[in-house]
Amino acid sequence: MKNDLPLTQVDALGHILAQIAELTKQADKIKDEIKDGGVSVEGNLFKATYVECNRKVVDSKKLYADLGITEEVLAKYTSITAVFSVKVTSR
């Protein structure tokens, strides 16, 4: 498949994603420090509040099996949506 996208844009995308990765790493470190330190921290421009919650996850395969729901019945209520991603690696 041919794409007429200028190579400089691909390089720019790779550079931007690398910056995002580094910034995310820095942000995660600060978030961990806030989490370890307590409830809330206020700066000159922003306020950060640590909030903890529990996430519930339903084991749908086990639930379907326990309820006797077959793959055919499940297929009637299942929709499919096309998604895409762009994988960027350095050369």
> 64 phi and psi, to 5 degrees?
-60, -40
Q: Are 88 and 7 contacting, i.e. CB atoms less than 8 angstroms apart?
A: no
**Both tokens assigned to 31:** 């978030």
Residue 41 bridge partners (DSSP): 48
- pLDDT of the residue at 1: 56
Tell me the pLDDT tens digit for each residue of 4-43. Answer: 667 788 899 999 999 999 999 999 999 999 888 777 888 8
Does residue 2 surpass a pLDDT of 70?
no
Is this prediction's pTM over 0.75?
Answer: no
Tell me the pLDDT tens digit for each residue of 33-83. Answer: 988 877 788 889 899 988 888 999 999 999 999 999 998 999 999 999 998
- pLDDT of the residue at 84: 80
Instruction: Supply the DSSP string of 57-68, one letter for each residue.
Output: ---HHHHHHHHT
Cα–Cα distance for residue pair 52/40, rounded to 1 Å: 12
Q: Are 50 and 38 contacting, i.e. CB atoms less than 8 angstroms apart?
A: yes
